[in-house]
């Protein structure tokens, strides 16, 4: 494991991993552990490390990525960190976008924020902080593709290994993770 990835794991375990009580997840499921990646992705060092690890996965993708985005709120710091990491790399800056949970109730009424920075019809990477069932990502995929963009990569910080990767695979998508639950807790 490279030093940045190892350090990210340490921060996730210290700041984001909770065990010992019953937690209700966004999927509605109950769990005896909770991974609150926002506690890491909103930390200066944690954000930097998340951005670098995500950008590394984006850089390995065979197709050129035109934008990186995800559902607010969990993906917000991640898409920003990944976009900044791409800019610091200096080769191909990748703009960020945010998908709203509900369409904006005023102005343009849109679901996607940041579209003016995105090349029309570009290929995008979607980010999620934690994946359990994949339900949120299915919503995001539908909203992004309805705007004419093509989802070609999906990355999560932590895959809880509770069926989300399989749900996405049924729709033809591969889930890439910085850590699976097994890797994080090993």
Domain residue ranges of the chain, discontinuous segments joined by + = 51-180
**Class of domain 51-180 as given by CATH:** alpha beta
The pTM is what? Answer: 0.95
Between CA 129 and CA 136 the distance in angstroms is: 11
As a whole number of angstroms, the distance between CA 87 and CA 57 comes to 15
Measured in degrees and rounded to the nearest 5, phi and psi for residue 175 equal -90, 125
Q: Are 112 and 99 in contact (CB under 8 A)?
A: yes
Looking at the predicted structure, is the pLDDT value of residue 106 above 70? no
Q: What is the pLDDT of residues 154-179, one digit of tens each?
A: 999 999 999 999 999 999 999 999 99
What backbone torsions phi and psi does residue 75 show, to the nearest 5 degrees? -85, -15
């Amino acid at each position: 494991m490279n030093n940045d990835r190892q350090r990210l794991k340490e921060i996730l375990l210290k700041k984001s991993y909770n065990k010992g009580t019953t937690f209700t997840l966004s999927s509605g499921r109950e769990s005896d552990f909770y991974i609150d990646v926002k506690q890491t992705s909103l930390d200066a060092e944690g954000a930097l490390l998340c951005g670098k690890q995500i950008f590394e996965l984006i850089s390995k993708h065979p197709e050129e990525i035109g934008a990186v985005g995800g559902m607010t709120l969990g993906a917000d710091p991640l898409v920003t960190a990944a976009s900044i990491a791409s800019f610091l790399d200096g080769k191909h800056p990748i703009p960020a976008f945010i998908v709203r949970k509900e369409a904006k109730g005023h102005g343009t009424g849109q679901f996607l924020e940041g579209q003016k920075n995105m090349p029309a019809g570009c290929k995008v990477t979607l980010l999620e902080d934690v994946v359990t069932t994949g339900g949120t990502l299915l919503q995001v995929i539908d909203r992004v593709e309805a705007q004419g963009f093509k989802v070609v990569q999906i990355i999560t910080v932590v895959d809880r290994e509770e069926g989300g990767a399989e749900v996405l695979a049924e729709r033809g998508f591969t889930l890439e993770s910085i850590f699976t639950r097994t890797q994080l807790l090993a």
